């Protein structure tokens, strides 16, 4: 801690949008932060790749480090803020150096925490140093604080999150404007909404990092990104969005963590959620999380999941906690007690499903379909057939009663082998989020 207990001097690694946002809050709200913490929060040093770049703020008063890891050993820095990103490399090296030295470390880096969270938490706990990462999940929504503090009295039964604004924005525009995925993605990239390489977002990896962190806190288990079943939104097509709506659902990319009888199930995939559910009505780039606890019941949180102000707000909230002397194990329980996640393979998932088939419009097709489902003991909840597709096929859309994913997949494989089925069937999970 600072040689002067009435001040907290920050070192900021990474001066992109969020880093500059943190500087703005620390400068603009200096009096407020001081009143709330009893300390003067100042910036002592910064580090970024390009010293010469104009970032629109005056950095002249701050010491500059070419190597971010040097912030850990700078005696004029009491707390390091890491905003560089990446699960390994300088961010990981800086985190380890800070925590090993007992220096508080605040980060927005979901990949780092999802990958090395348990090890870093152990380092932090060994030195009673703060390791905080509110901004890593859902930007400005204080969901980590909600789980570690506000809901700490509860056994959590499940959580569902819309945790990637890019995907939610794409799905929203596909539905509103009837556009195909590729067209909306290209447009989102053109206007700077989606990254030039959107893989992390649209393939669900970003959501998986965030879900792993939330699941770790909610269920007291180590984040395990490597074994988390993850699917993105690349294969979502407009026809399924339209049928979802007709059936009373909307398609969302969800992070799900749920207590089951034999372990905690954690997964990321697109799902159909009832139009009446809170998550169905979260549109554009907004993020939202619902959490259910045994005593509190269902709770919900919604807000901006990215952007300069919201993400910097979460970072500075963590800094305020450190300034106030708030400390607890980073995942809410000692890292040594974090269990191994009992990821149930998605095959074991029990749920209800939407299946869409394109079939030849000939006698006996319905019988083939219902026999196939009966053979796998998959019970039909609803079924509809809609007019001719361009190539003469018709769509048959059905929803199932509860069944295992294994049985639903087996039925899909049989459908693929039927002569009357004209293209690979589509399947989506239905979640009562």
By DSSP bridging, strand 105-107 and strand 131-132 are parallel
Nearer to ligand HSE by C-beta: 11 or 165?
Answer: 165
Nearer to ligand HSE by C-beta: 25 or 83?
Answer: 83
Nearer to ligand HSE by C-beta: 206 or 376?
Answer: 206
Binding-residue total with ligand HSE (CB under 6 A): 7
Q: Which residues of 217-229 are buried (b: 16+ CB within 10 A; e: fewer)?
A: bbbbbbbbbeebb
Tokens matching residue 118 = 């348990």
14 binds ligand HSE (CB under 6 A): no
Taking CB under 6 A as the binding criterion, the range among 79-87, 164-172, 244-252, 334-342 that sits at the site for ligand HSE is 164-172
The partner residues of 263 in beta bridges, in order of sequence, read 260
224 binds ligand HSE (CB under 6 A): no
Among 206, 231, 318, 376, binds ligand HSE (CB under 6 A): 206
Among 166, 211, 286, 400, binds ligand HSE (CB under 6 A): 166
115 binds ligand HSE (CB under 6 A): no
**Where does residue 400 rank: exposed (0-12), middle (13-18), buried (19+ CB within 10 A)?**
buried
Among 164, 308, 313, 346, binds ligand HSE (CB under 6 A): 164
- 24 as an active site residue: the answer is no
211 binds ligand HSE (CB under 6 A): no
Sign of CA dihedral 226, 184, 239, 280: positive
**Inter-CA distances, 326 with 128, 218, 316, 383, Å:** 11, 20, 14, 55
Q: Could you tell me which residues come within 8 angstroms of residue 421 by beta carbon, excluding any fewer than 6 positions away?
A: 357, 358, 359, 415
Taking CB under 6 A as the binding criterion, the range among 44-52, 161-169, 179-187, 409-417 that sits at the site for ligand HSE is 161-169
Alpha helices in 6-100 (DSSP H): 17-28, 30-37, 89-100
144 binds ligand HSE (CB under 6 A): no
Among 165, 310, 317, 329, binds ligand HSE (CB under 6 A): 165
Taking CB under 6 A as the binding criterion, the range among 116-124, 160-168, 293-301, 374-382 that sits at the site for ligand HSE is 160-168
Considering only residues 257 to 316 of the shown chain, the ones binding ligand HSE according to CB under 6 A are 305-306
- The number of angstroms, rounded, from the C-alpha of 343 to the middle of its chain's C-alpha atoms is 17
Q: Which residues of 349-362 are buried (b: 16+ CB within 10 A; e: fewer)?
A: bebbbbbbbbbeee
Among 201, 318, 376, 405, binds ligand HSE (CB under 6 A): 201
* Given the residues 103, 118, 145, 210, the one annotated as active site: 210
Q: Which residues form the interface with ligand HSE (CB under 6 A)?
A: 164-166, 201, 206, 305-306
Residues noted as catalytic? 210
């Amino acid at each position: 801690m600072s040689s002067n207990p009435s001040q907290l001097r920050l070192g900021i690694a990474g001066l992109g949008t969020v880093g500059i946002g943190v500087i703005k809050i620390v400068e603009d709200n200096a009096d407020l932060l001081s009143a709330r913490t009893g300390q003067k929060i100042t910036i002592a040093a910064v580090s970024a790749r390009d010293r010469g770049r104009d970032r629109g703020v005056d950095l002249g008063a701050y010491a500059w480090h070419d190597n971010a890891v040097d912030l850990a050993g700078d005696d004029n820095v009491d707390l390091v803020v890491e905003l560089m990103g990446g699960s390994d490399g300088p961010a990981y090296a800086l985190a380890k150096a800070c925590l090993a030295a007992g220096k508080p470390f605040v980060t927005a880096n979901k990949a780092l925490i999802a990958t090395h969270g348990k090890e870093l938490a152990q380092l932090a706990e060994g030195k009673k140093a703060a390791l905080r990462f509110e901004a890593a999940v859902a930007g400005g929504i204080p969901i980590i604080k909600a789980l570690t503090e506000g809901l700490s009295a509860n056994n959590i039964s499940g959580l569902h999150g819309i945790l990637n604004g890019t995907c939610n924005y794409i799905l929203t525009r596909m539905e509103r404007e009837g556009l195909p995925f590729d067209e909306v993605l290209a447009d989102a990239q053109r206007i700077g909404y989606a990254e030039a390489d959107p893989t992390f977002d649209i393939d669900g990896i970003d959501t998986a990092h965030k879900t792993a962190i939330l699941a770790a806190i909610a269920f007291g288990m180590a984040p395990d990104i490597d074994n988390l079943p993850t699917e993105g939104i690349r294969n979502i097509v407009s026809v399924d969005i339209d049928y979802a709506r007709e059936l009373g659902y909307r398609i969302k990319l969800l992070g799900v963590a749920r207590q089951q009888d034999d372990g905690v199930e954690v997964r990321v995939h697109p799902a159909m959620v009832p139009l009446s559910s809170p998550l169905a009505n979260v549109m554009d780039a907004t993020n939202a999380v619902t959490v259910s606890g045994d005593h509190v019941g269902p709770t919900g949180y919604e807000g901006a999941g990215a952007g300069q102000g919201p993400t910097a707000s979460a970072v500075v909230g963590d800094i305020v906690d450190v300034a106030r002397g708030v400390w607890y194990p980073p995942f809410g329980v000692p890292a040594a007690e974090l269990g191994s996640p009992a990821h149930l393979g998605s095959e074991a998932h029990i749920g209800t499903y939407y299946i869409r088939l394109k079939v030849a419009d000939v006698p006996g097709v319905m019988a083939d379909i219902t026999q196939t489902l009966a053979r796998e003991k998959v019970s039909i909840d609803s079924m509809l057939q809609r007019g001719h597709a361009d190539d003469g096929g018709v769509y048959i859309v059905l929803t199932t009663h509860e069944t295992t994913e294994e049985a639903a997949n087996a039925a899909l494989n049989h459908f693929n082998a039927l002569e009357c089925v004209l293209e690979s069937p589509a399947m989506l999970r239905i979640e009562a989020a």
